[in-house]
């Protein structure tokens, strides 16, 4: 019964139609939250006692890092749905989410390393979080490369799903192993958002920025998945009628 | 199961370039590194270990690059699919045979080179044990990569499996360092053996699913 | 809580020397996200146009 329920609501056509309904609101809400969070954080949040004004990158870096992980987590759920229940839409969503993941992971890496220049004096450090984010970036690229190497799209979908599922198990392993490795070399450096006592005047714009980034990335993902689904299903009648 | 082992061992033993090639390349790389560096300026003993570790990584990839390609091309994989319905046994046999014929000699070569670079004779067996266990892990990981990219060239397999190999490298580096600093060797090697057992048990299942996808 | 943290607009831009880092990051990110949306939207329009041409 669960299988038929899943199959009824997971047709690519209904996905495109349903998301088209609320896409404008998601995009508008995402942009507004992001603008609100960033303007508040840039102009109105107080200066940090230790880091000065460069800490304001936090309102961009933390949302980006969170989204980088969340998008992979989303992809792994889709991969499970594709492998176990043979939901084709899930494979389309993985393929659409991967470029969004590449973008946001790059933003996370770039913002983190530019932030490191005034904070640590160096734009790169081999600590657990940075290295595992870099590896996550490479994993996203590997997934895209894998899918584009096969001309048989169904085979490519299944192989990509297998790789995503194997990779998601790897993410905590990488984090733990690099953590274990780096604790031998250096003490814990300044941890940006681990502070249990982050001031509310900084917490509110941060939360709003995280929400805004999530909605913006969801909106971008909806757009990319619409394009990809239409391309993959272009021989179907409902796509022909789309024009 | 024994049939698979003896079959794969027979095939590998008679394909000289498949097992001798990686070993020769490893020797070349381990010779090339000191040649490229100013020995008087650096304490070579300290970081020669990382050269051994990285060359183990690269050669593990090379050794398993075409582990499935011949069987895929001549149809033996499809035959096994019809008979066995599952690739677990053949994959496990292939990996273990490759570890025995290529991985263990690689570990031996690495241990000899580490001995040539300052490790005392008493410590060499420890290095050998560490390297052998890690070849088991690495061969499993790279076999998964070559199963994903079965006839699309090796680059794809590397890109797919390198993120999996990196924690293994961290573990291997930790093991080698425990020998170098003389403490914690037993704990690390038990950890490595445990990881190797889990990986060897689980990876063939994933590889089997991947191969089945290719044959559909 | 909601008072402007800087003395004037010039201070807002330079942020005691940290401004270059903060503004670089924000501008690059904004550009990347905006360009992504525009590229995808453009590709969708091209697809739609091709579909219309094919159905004529």
Q: Of A100-114, A164-178, A225-239, which range is least confident?
A: A164-178
Cβ distance of A243 and C4 shorter than 8 Å = no
Q: Kindly report, residue by residue over A64-121, the tens digit of the pLDDT.
A: 999 999 999 999 999 999 999 888 999 999 999 999 999 999 999 999 999 888 888 8
Cβ distance of C51 and A240 shorter than 8 Å = yes
Do chains B and C meet with 3 or more Cβ pairs nearer than 8 Å?
Answer: no
Tell me which residues of chain B, numbers 131 to 160, contact chain A at a CB-CB cutoff of 8 Å. Answer: 144, 148-149, 152, 156, 159-160
pLDDT at residue A212, as a whole number: 96
Chains touching chain A through at least 3 C-beta pairs below 8 angstroms are: B, C
Q: Kindly report, residue by residue over B194-216, the tens digit of the pLDDT.
A: 999 999 999 999 999 999 998 87
- Percent of chain A residues past pLDDT 70, beyond the cut: 89
Burial A119-156 (b: 16+ CB within 10 A, else e): beeeeebebbbbbbbbbbbebbbbbbbbbebbeeeeeb
Residue C15, in any domain of the structure? no
pLDDT at residue A158, as a whole number: 94
Chains touching chain B through at least 3 C-beta pairs below 8 angstroms are: A
Chain A residue numbers with beta carbons less than 8 Å from the beta carbon of C4 are 43-44
pLDDT for A190 beyond 50: no
**Cα–Cα separations (whole angstroms), residue B201 to B91, B137, B145, B162, B196:** 11, 11, 17, 20, 8
pLDDT at residue B180, as a whole number: 80
Chain C residue numbers with beta carbons less than 8 Å from the beta carbon of A40 are 2
pLDDT for A36 beyond 90: yes
Q: What is the CA radius of gyration of chain A?
A: 20
Cβ distance of A149 and B171 shorter than 8 Å = no
**Cα–Cα separations (whole angstroms), residue A138 to A19, A142, B150, B200:** 29, 6, 21, 25
Q: Which of A158, A163, A174 sits opposite B166 (nearest CB)?
A: A174
Cβ distance of C22 and A56 shorter than 8 Å = yes
Residue C13, in any domain of the structure? no
Task: Please tell me the distance from the alpha carbon of residue B163 to that of residue A164, in angstroms, as a whole number.
Answer: 12
Residues in chain B, pLDDT under 70: 39, 41-42
The average pLDDT across A15-24 equals 90
Q: Kindly report, residue by residue over B71-100, the tens digit of the pLDDT.
A: 888 888 888 888 877 889 899 999 999 999
**Element (DSSP H or E) covering residue B149:** none
pLDDT at residue A243, as a whole number: 59
Domain that holds residue C27: 20-55
Could you give the ipTM of this predicted complex?
Answer: 0.90
Q: Of A144-148, B101-105, B200-204, C12-16, which range is least confident?
A: C12-16
Chain B residue numbers with beta carbons less than 8 Å from the beta carbon of A139 are 163
Q: Which of A162, A167, A180 sits opposite B210 (nearest CB)?
A: A162
Chain A residue numbers with beta carbons less than 8 Å from the beta carbon of B167 are 170, 173-174, 177-178
- Give the residue from chain A lying closest to B157, CA to CA: A146
Q: Which residue has the higher pLDDT, A236 or A111?
A: A111
Tell me which residues of chain C, numbers 1 to 56, contact chain A at a CB-CB cutoff of 8 Å. Answer: 1-6, 12, 15-19, 21-22, 24-26, 28-29, 32-33, 36-37, 40-41, 43-44, 47-48, 51-52, 54-55
- Give the residue from chain C lying closest to A111, CA to CA: C25
Least Cα separation, residue C8 to chain A (angstroms) = 11
Least Cα separation, residue B171 to chain A (angstroms) = 7
pLDDT for A184 beyond 60: no
Number of domains chain C is built from:
1
Chains touching chain C through at least 3 C-beta pairs below 8 angstroms are: A
Judge if pTM exceeds 0.80.
yes
Cβ distance of B163 and A167 shorter than 8 Å = yes
Position A214 confidence tier, pLDDT thresholds 50, 70, 90: very high
């Amino acid at each position: 019964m669960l299988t038929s329920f899943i199959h009824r609501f997971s047709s690519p056509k209904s996905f495109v139609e349903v998301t088209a309904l609320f896409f404008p609101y998601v995009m508008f809400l995402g942009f507004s939250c992001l603008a609100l969070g960033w303007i508040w954080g840039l102009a109105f949040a107080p200066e940090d006692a230790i880091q000065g004004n460069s800490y304001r990158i936090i309102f961009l870096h933390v949302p980006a890092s969170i989204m980088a992980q969340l998008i992979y987590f989303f992809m792994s759920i889709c991969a499970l749905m594709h492998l176990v229940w043979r939901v084709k839409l899930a494979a389309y969503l993985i393929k659409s989410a991967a470029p969004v993941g590449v973008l946001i992971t790059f933003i996370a890496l770039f913002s983190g390393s530019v932030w490191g220049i005034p904070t640590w004096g160096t734009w790169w450090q081999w600590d657990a979080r940075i290295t595992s984010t870099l590896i996550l970036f490479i994993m996203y690229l590997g997934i895209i490369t894998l899918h584009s190497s096969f001309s048989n799209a169904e085979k490519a979908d299944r192989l990509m799903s297998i790789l995503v599922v194997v990779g998601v198990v790897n993410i905590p392993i990488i984090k733990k192993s690099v953590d274990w490795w780096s604790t031998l070399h250096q003490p814990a450096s300044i941890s940006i958002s681990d502070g249990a006592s982050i001031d509310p005047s900084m917490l509110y714009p941060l939360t709003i920025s995280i929400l805004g980034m999530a909605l913006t990335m969801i909106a971008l993902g909806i757009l990319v998945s619409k394009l990809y689904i239409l391309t993959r299903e272009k021989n179907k009648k409902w796509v022909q009628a789309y024009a | 199961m024994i049939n698979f082992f003896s079959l794969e061992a027979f095939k590998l033993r008679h394909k000289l370039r498949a097992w001798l090639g990686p070993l020769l390349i490893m020797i070349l790389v381990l010779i090339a590194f000191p040649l490229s560096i100013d020995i008087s300026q650096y304490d070579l003993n300290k970081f020669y270990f990382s050269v051994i570790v990285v060359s183990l990584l690269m050669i593990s990839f090379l050794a398993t690059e075409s582990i499935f390609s011949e069987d895929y091309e001549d149809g033996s994989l499809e035959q096994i699919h019809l008979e066995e319905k599952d690739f677990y046994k053949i994959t496990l046999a292939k990996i273990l045979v490759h570890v025995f014929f290529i991985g263990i000699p690689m570990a031996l070569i690495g241990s000899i080179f580490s001995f040539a670079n300052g490790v005392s004779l008493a410590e060499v067996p420890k290095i050998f044990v560490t390297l052998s266990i890690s070849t088991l892990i690495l061969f499993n990981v790279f076999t998964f990569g070559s199963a994903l990219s079965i006839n699309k060239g090796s680059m794809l397999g590397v890109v797919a499996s390198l993120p999996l190999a990196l924690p293994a490298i961290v573990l291997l580096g930790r093991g080698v360092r425990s020998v170098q600093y003389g403490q914690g060797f037993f704990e690390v090697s038990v950890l490595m053996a445990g990881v190797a057992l889990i990986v060897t048990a689980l990876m063939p299942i994933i590889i089997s699913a991947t191969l089945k996808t290719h044959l559909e | 809580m909601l008072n402007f943290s800087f003395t004037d607009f010039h201070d807002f831009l330079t942020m005691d020397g940290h401004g270059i880092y903060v503004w670089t990051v924000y501008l690059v990110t904004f550009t990347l996200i905006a360009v992504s949306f525009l590229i995808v939207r453009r590709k969708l329009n091209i697809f739609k146009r091709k579909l219309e041409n094919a159905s004529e």
